[in-house]
Amino acid sequence: MVCAFIVIITLCVLLQWLYKINEEYYILSFCARRVRAKDDRSVESIAPIPKGRTIFANCFDLYGKDGVGIFQYHRRLAREMGSSYLIYSLGAPIYSIIDPVNAEFVLNNASLITKGALYDFIQPALRYGMLTSTGKKWHTRRKMITPTFHFNILGQFVEIFKAESQKFLKLVESQPESIISLSELIPRFTLNNICETAMGINLDELTEKGDRYRESIKMIERCFVKRLCNPLLHNNTMYKLLAASEDAPFLKVVHEFSSDIIAKRRVLLKAELDERRKHQSPDDDIYINKKRRFAMLDTLICAEKDGLIDHDGICEEVDTLMFGGFDTTSMSLIFTLLNLSLYEDMQELCCQEISEYIDDPSDLDITQLSNLKYLDRFIKETIRMFPPVPFIGRQTLSETELPNGLILPARTQIIMHIFDIHRNPKYWDSPEEFDPDRFLPENSMKRQTYAYIPFSAGQRNCIGQKYAMLETKTLLIFILKRFKILPITDPKELVLFNGITLCVKNNIKVKLTQTSLVRSFNVFKMVCASIVIIAACVLLYWLYKINEEYYILAFFARRVRAKHGQSLESIVSVPKGRTIFANCFDLFGKDDAGVFQYSRRLAREMGSSYLIYSLGTPIYSIIDPVNAEFVLNNASLITKGAIYDFMQPALRTGLLTSTGKKWHTRRKMITPTFHFNILGQFMEIFKAESQKFVRRFENQEESVISISEHIPRFTLNSICETAMGINLDELTEKGDRYRESIKMIEKCFVKRISNPLYYNNTMYKLLAASEDAPFLKMVHEFSSDIIAKRRVLLKAELDERRKNQSPDDDIYINKKRRFAMLDTLICAEKDGLIDHDGICEEVDTLMFGGFDTTSMSLIFTLLNLSLYEDMQELCYQEIAEYIDDPSDLDITQLSNLKYLDRFVKETIRMFPPVPIMSRQTLNETELPNGLILPAGTQISMHIFDIHRNPKYWDSPEEFDPDRFLPENSMKRHTYAYIPFSAGQRNCIGQKYAMMEIKTLVIYILKRFKILPITDPDEFILHSGITLCVKNNIKVKLVLRK
């Protein structure tokens, strides 16, 4: 009873205390100090207070919203409140101003220059520069930087604006009509300008870094929104704990970019000042030269020498000026060009005015711009409707009384919503309508001055406003002198959202049409109309006749015929293409996974070998073993398909890509180096490399390893030491670069497959070869290093053998040492059977084939061992039965491992390392099924689909090694399993590959149990030169007890 009584009294006292304190502090808003009104008026009579989403005032109003939601939230409050309003959020009142009277008071109040707490969210990116600093630091920096944007200095920047505008036009002027993405091109234009004017650095050599900088700024704006809408992240300490690590990569890119700019400018400025000292008298100021542009960054660097700023301060201001100089101006330019496209009559007025005052834009100077009154009003109206900075913030440092009678306590946040001030119907007639004439002097005269503040106002107004207008007008003049701007993006579909600046989710596009072309075309079409009609009739008749033999819409591909007048479709399916141009553009725009899935889809849908027409040639796609057998055993069909031309920049014309006499000669030369007796000598290398592989993991009970990373290194080391006679231990770094370059070359290969423009070698060299050149250079340098190193070693070995062998011995064969394929080529060079370029071709071919294809087979084999535990156990038991110590392993023992052999074969059936092979006909060729293929027909044998053809394999998607038991294979078509091709051009390295795979598997299974990590359901297979997988495939190795 006593305790209950005490609790009741305590509660009453607590409630009384909370009631009293709540008069001064809004307790449920985390004790935010309340705003008062003068003369005891109610606060609500002056500033409406919108109800929050929860009982905690407005603290959680933005929680969970994205940038669009935040933007719409403020617009809704502005509409519903109708005047400046007050909200309480997380311990602080926020006064949101949407009228110019209050905005004027705040912006002109010397005690209200401290930026709001909101700007803390920007500081990780922009640090404490002119935008975010306050007090003495802000005054000093403002005084230092403002003169660099003086009217006289701006005049010198016009040359840069003109040069960059000219570059912009070059992107589109070669075409009569161009649809361009303003959202992509304009930010690049404005960043180039701010860097070359204010920073004194041309970005032509830093294009890629500039692109990454802009992308990182986008991500930083998202980080800003993320903090804005999550109360947990408002506090800097909580933000650093919970989310800062996610944003760190973008901040790093931004700060590294600005640091590069500063470092580069320091070097250039020093050289310029040294040069000027030579030619100027002691009385001249070397920091001002009327004949050159003046960079803001120069001022900061020179001020550093006077002790007025340090390096960190320079970084702060460069970060701030670069962001402000490109992002805000970008948005203004994007919306201005969009509005020009939407309001055709107003665009015409701008064009007429420009034509009247400006003859040649290349002679443009700053004084001419003042004549363009209508263009000026058009830009101002655009910025009124879409201010690049939709809000600005201040905070009170002490209690502050506003003219309307509100008394704001210290730390009150003041947000001036420029977007809503600019659309306030009390100050703007029909504010949602676009009307440049509202900025005529007679229409502006009575309007409140602070109803239009896109560049802020007062002490902290934007120092770059004249710069921005000058840059905007220059580009518009260049564009409108040459193009008419037509709309593409529908303004009703625009989705605006809040970032640090006003942003739009849409990719805003316009169409640029050359004005001279439009005028010329109107005259031309009247003169040529009748000629065109007659020519069209003649052409149509000719096309009708020729289309019987050639598929005209497939760029005159010669038609495939059927024997004895049968219909083509009765023998082979012809899938419909994506466009009217047959299958020419079926792969256009697809990535490597899309190319792979396209072929698989056609195999499923067609159900049998099918025919497509693409870019002037028929392509017969074989997915059955009967047709594959005919092609692979036909001596007249050994010429590789045109698709192998895409590999030639990397592999040149070696054994894989050559044909005719050259291929026969090389095949005869190289085949003996993979003879069974020679392969037996490679076993020591396979064992040594396998031992190296397992040694990395045997000191740990469990190891999760990426076989996508480790296996290619293993197979490259093996092929180099066996076939090339070179140990890669001293070339590890070069080997890693070689493998990475091969990956990029495979991407280049897919890029050519999926873009018809690149099919032609000449077009490829003109348009894309330069992008691929670094990777090709790396691959060819690596193979050249291998050859050079082997030449030295072979000479020493042969010299040594000559000393110790009799004249009757063949110094090129020594049963006590391994035989390198490269040795054969070097010795053949001495006999004139091959030259140095030929050796390079074969080394490139054998190295790629010997490491990349075997890598994929090994990766999938180890993966399958991890997935099928019972089968792994059978492999292990078999190995334990026949092989006691792997270090004593020899080639004959491998033949005992029947189950392991079947397991590897089943893996390669499901995941053939080369999923497609190609041939082409040199003459008209008749197939057993009655198809007659014209000369030049491409024949693609889809091994992946042959291996999974349900007509020849029961349950082909299931993994079953026993399908390779003799009794199960007996009735199966021999060519239903061709992972190493077949016929004359079969793979000479198939026994080599199987021996290498089995050796490593034996070493691993003797020491480890393999457990799965990668989920096979998440696999994304894709086409390269070989079968590839996008995933990083991992397994767990558990040491056997």
What DSSP line would sit under 919-931, residue for residue? EE-SS-EE-TTSE
d(CA 712, CA 739): 8
Same domain, 346 and 303: yes
At 1040, the pLDDT band (50, 70, 90 cuts) reads very high
Reply yes or no on whether the pLDDT at 318 is more than 60: yes
Residue 180 phi, psi dihedral angles, 5° rounding: -120, 150
Residue 460: count other Cβ atoms within 10 Å of its Cβ.
Answer: 19
Domain termination site, one of 516, 549, 575: 516
Same domain, 831 and 955: no
Q: How many residues does the chain have?
A: 1041
Domain termination site, one of 978, 1000, 1025: 978
Residue 511 domain-assigned (yes or no): yes
Establish whether 315 is an annotated binding residue.
no
pLDDT at 927: 94
Structure tokens, 1021: 């297979």
pLDDT at 554: 85
Residues of the chain with pLDDT > 90, as a percent, come to 57
Contacts of 901 (CB under 8 A, 6+ apart): 964, 994, 998
Residue 61 domain-assigned (yes or no): no
pLDDT tens figures, 212-268: 988 988 888 888 888 888 888 888 888 888 888 888 898 899 899 999 989 998 888
Structure tokens, 548: 């019987």
Reply yes or no on whether the pLDDT at 690 is more than 60: yes
Contact between 34 and 87 (Cβ < 8 Å) = no
pLDDT at 816: 43
At 271, the pLDDT band (50, 70, 90 cuts) reads confident
Same domain, 617 and 654: no
Same domain, 193 and 304: yes
At 558, the pLDDT band (50, 70, 90 cuts) reads very high
Same domain, 449 and 329: yes
Residue 531 domain-assigned (yes or no): no
283 vs 990, which has greater pLDDT?
990
CA separation (Å) from 428 to 425, 632, 743, 845, 915? 5, 80, 60, 73, 68
Same domain, 942 and 830: no
Structure tokens, 258: 């600005």
pLDDT at 818: 43
509-514 sheet: strands from edge to edge? 177-181, 509-514, 483-487
What CATH number is attached to the domain comprising 929?
3.30.43.20
**Residues 885/887/890/891 CA torsion (nearest 10 deg):** 100
With H, G, I as helix, E, B as strand and everything else as coil, classify residue 487. strand
pLDDT tens figures, 861-915: 999 999 999 999 999 999 999 999 999 998 889 999 999 999 999 999 999 999 9
Strands 938-942 and 916-920: antiparallel
Same domain, 122 and 193: yes
Residue 143 domain-assigned (yes or no): yes
pLDDT tens figures, 83-136: 999 999 888 999 999 999 999 999 999 999 999 988 888 888 888 888 888 889
Residue 332 domain-assigned (yes or no): yes
pLDDT at 817: 46
pLDDT tens figures, 407-431: 999 999 999 999 999 999 999 999 9
916-920 sheet: strands from edge to edge? 610-614, 617-622, 938-942, 916-920
Same domain, 282 and 334: yes
Burial of 903 by CB count in 10 Å (0-12 exposed, 13-18 middle, 19+ buried)? buried
Same domain, 861 and 942: no
At 372, the pLDDT band (50, 70, 90 cuts) reads very high
Same domain, 871 and 940: no
Give the chain's domain count.
3
Q: Which of 142-151, 482-491, 665-674, 900-909 tops mean pLDDT?
A: 900-909
Average pLDDT over residues 821-844: 92
Q: ∠144-145-151 over CA atoms, to 5°?
A: 120
Domain termination site, one of 516, 550, 579: 516
Strands 925-926 and 1008-1012: unpaired
Contact between 333 and 510 (Cβ < 8 Å) = no
Contact between 592 and 572 (Cβ < 8 Å) = no
Reply yes or no on whether the pLDDT at 517 is more than 60: no
Distance of CA 693 to the CA centre of its chain: 34
Contact between 322 and 191 (Cβ < 8 Å) = yes
Structure tokens, 1038: 């558990």
d(CA 640, CA 657): 6
d(CA 412, CA 731): 65
What CATH number is attached to the domain comprising 502?
1.10.630.10
d(CA 609, CA 942): 9
Residue 67 domain-assigned (yes or no): no
Residue 573 domain-assigned (yes or no): yes
Same domain, 710 and 732: yes
Same domain, 168 and 211: yes
d(CA 1016, CA 163): 54
Average pLDDT over residues 990-1011: 96
Average pLDDT, the chain: 89
Domain that holds residue 666: 637-914+979-1039
d(CA 391, CA 387): 9
Structure tokens, 102: 């209050």
Average pLDDT over residues 323-341: 92
Residue 434: count other Cβ atoms within 10 Å of its Cβ.
Answer: 16
pLDDT at 282: 56
Average pLDDT over residues 905-928: 96
pTM, two decimals, is: 0.53
pLDDT at 526: 54
Structure tokens, 291: 């004949």
Q: Is the four-CA dihedral 166, 515, 182, 318 of positive or negative sign?
A: positive
pLDDT at 533: 80
Contact between 297 and 262 (Cβ < 8 Å) = yes
Q: Is the four-CA dihedral 674, 676, 677, 683 of positive or negative sign?
A: positive
pLDDT tens figures, 1-34: 778 878 777 777 666 666 666 677 787 888 889 9
Residue 59 domain-assigned (yes or no): no
pLDDT at 680: 84
d(CA 252, CA 257): 8
1034-1039 sheet: strands from edge to edge? 702-706, 1034-1039, 1008-1012
pLDDT at 400: 94
